[in-house]
């Protein structure tokens, strides 16, 4: 273990021990796990922006939170970061026989099949019956809905539940859009929410066919919107005007200028 890592663990011990930080001492494992998820999201944002320095900082936060969670867990059972590292390493080696054993895997599909088969064996060893479980893998309730939909669809494909080509996905999307519009025409709020969910699910399916991660695509779209909107705000602030007082045509013109400025930058 490096000196730097030892120092990190010592700092965490100091924070949790009597006389340490009141805030850190009162955190439960559930609290800490939620903060860990937040840090993972910030790492994704830094990676999207191509911010290498930001990624380093967020990885440091993730390492701290993982170590912090382990320290909290160690207060109720005998475990430390050595155990976590050992468990993780053993699992990786066990699930990659095509790398660390004598098995072969000619492509990603075959390596994924081996991974899933080994996971099933691990469950049997624990007395669980993997055949009684759903094809759809359980995900935390906190999982982003787009990512959840994407993974459910990928799981379903594993048992052949899929269109023969992307045409079926496009047609399904058109069908769901028509049903959404019909619900709007009836002003049926419950049906509108239902059909909008189906539209979004169908959009995710098209994205899956195109090998696009929908949550990442939406994150990038959100970032573009934020950057452009900030420029529009700046334009009106420089003129000493309020956006809400401008007609939509002027706002749209300002928006288009922001798009062009960012495209050139």
pLDDT tens, position by position, 90-114 = 999 988 888 888 777 777 777 777 7
Cα distance between the two ends of the chain? 44
- CA torsion angle 70 73 74 77 (round to 10): -140
pLDDT of residue 256: 96
Q: Indicate the pTM of the whole model.
A: 0.65
**Is residue 147 within 8 Å of 219, Cβ to Cβ?**
no
What are the pLDDT digits (tens) for 8-44?
A: 999 999 999 999 999 999 999 999 998 998 899 899 8
Mean pLDDT, the chain, rounded, equals 91
pLDDT of residue 183: 97
Task: Write the CA distances from 43 to 23, 29, 162, integer angstroms.
Answer: 24, 21, 33
Q: Check residues 46 and 130 and name the one with the higher pLDDT.
A: 46
Taking the CB of residue 164, how many other CB atoms lie within 10 A of it?
6
pLDDT band at 132 (very low <50, low <70, confident <90, very high): low
Residues in the chain: 265
The whole-angstrom separation of Cα 78 and Cα 125 is 22
Residues 120-143 have a mean pLDDT of 75
pLDDT of residue 119: 73
Least confident of 6-15, 38-47, 122-131, 153-162: 122-131
User: Which tokens hold the place of 166?
Assistant: 């992307």
The whole-angstrom separation of Cα 208 and Cα 215 is 11
User: Which tokens hold the place of 225?
Assistant: 């919107």
Check pLDDT > 80 for residue 86: yes
The whole-angstrom separation of Cα 93 and Cα 86 is 11
What are the pLDDT digits (tens) for 204-242?
A: 999 999 999 999 999 999 999 999 999 999 999 999 999
The whole-angstrom separation of Cα 217 and Cα 196 is 19
């Amino acid at each position: 273990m490096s000196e730097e890592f030892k120092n990190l663990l010592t700092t965490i011990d100091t924070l949790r021990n009597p006389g340490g930080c009141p805030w850190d001492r009162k955190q439960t494992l559930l609290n800490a796990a939620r903060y860990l998820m937040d840090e993972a999201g910030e790492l994704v944002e830094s990676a999207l922006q191509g911010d290498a320095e930001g990624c380093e900082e967020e990885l440091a936060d993730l390492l701290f939170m993982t170590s912090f969670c382990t320290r909290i867990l160690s207060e109720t059972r005998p475990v430390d970061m050595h155990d976590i590292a050992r468990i993780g390493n053993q699992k990786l080696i066990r699930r990659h026989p095509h790398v660390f054993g004598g098995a072969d895997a000619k492509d990603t599909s075959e390596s994924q099949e081996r991974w899933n088969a080994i996971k099933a064996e691990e469950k049997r060893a624990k007395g669980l019956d993997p055949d009684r479980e759903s094809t759809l893998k359980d995900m935390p309730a906190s999982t982003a809905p787009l990512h959840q939909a994407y993974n459910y669809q990928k799981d379903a494909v594993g048992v052949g539940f899929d269109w023969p080509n992307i045409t079926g996905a496009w047609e399904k999307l058109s069908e769901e859009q028509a049903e959404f519009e019909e619900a709007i025409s009836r002003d049926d709020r419950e049906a509108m929410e239902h059909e909008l969910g189906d539209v979004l699910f169908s959009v995710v399916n098209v994205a899956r066919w195109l090998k696009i991660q929908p949550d990442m695509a939406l994150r990038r779209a959100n970032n573009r919107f934020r950057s452009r909107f900030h420029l529009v705000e700046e334009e009106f602030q420089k003129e000493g005007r309020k956006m809400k007082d401008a007609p939509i045509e002027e706002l749209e013109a300002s928006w288009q200028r922001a798009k062009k400025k960012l495209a050139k930058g």
